[in-house]
Structure 1
């Protein structure tokens, strides 16, 4: 898949504010500071289409991006630790679940996990939730450049074992080196071609 054009459309909290579901969408989910925004920026070859921050919890709304005037990337707020109030953090779960539940044009979810961390309760729950609704999930291990090639492979095998999937079903990704960019684009192309 080749991305020629990408533009921010809008941020939303409630389904009434979501864009019309005229294009197929893929959502990017994961913990706060896992690299969702950096992944999107790398895929579209732009440094700052999506605002990035070293401070967890930067993305607090659901952000919609039109890609090639053909489909949408949807950047979801991160879950887990974030430097925001408990009240705001408590609103994220229902907001994200509502989006995932009601969006008729959702083709799949990219579940991002920091390669240096083991999958935890939230990742298992999200994968189960998606599986129960027959929503395809693509697992991406981010920040791969933080580990040597040997350690990347060990983490890949360990993560696959914990999640009960094959290592071939997980993509190693780095926004710094662009490792895995083409693999993610290829998987997205396959996903959107099923529409």
Structure 2
């Protein structure tokens, strides 16, 4: 299977989950700003939405949206520890977190990555992000992971998004419980490997 991805996106969550499961994905780095694949072809040919992540399955189908791809990989490989099976309430708790992360936290960050966001709205967006990070910090004051006392797919998703705070000069040290949570996840071999692959790609682009 091939994963289309770009540094510092939710595609990191998919890569981490795949590595947790032990699935080797062919990483196809793309330029989401130019909407181009490595060979110069149009990203829309793979994903009409022009976004990452996108997963091309072995039978040629393409799945998009990080939360959906993660569910597919977990279900395909029976990774119940990362995402419990259907009708297990723990599954829906993990998905509840993933929907919050994708619809609330992710979208709160979006204006901060747009160069044309007006300064006043950028200030409001920053406050929105900080408010959600503060809430996560409160939640993590009494638990090590988002649900079930163990690392799940929701934590991979959270890690990929929360790390954007550092890109927006919001030091995670401002939220000590959240900071400790990120450090726990950062120490996982799957995360170390995924981040290393990302750093190699960033260095390649800088040298190009």
Whether TM-score is above 0.5 comes out as no
Between Structure 1 and Structure 2, which shows a larger proportion of strand residues? 1
* TM-score, normalised by the number of residues in structure 1: 0.31
Higher-Rg structure is 2
Q: What is the TM-score with the length of structure 2 in the denominator?
A: 0.30
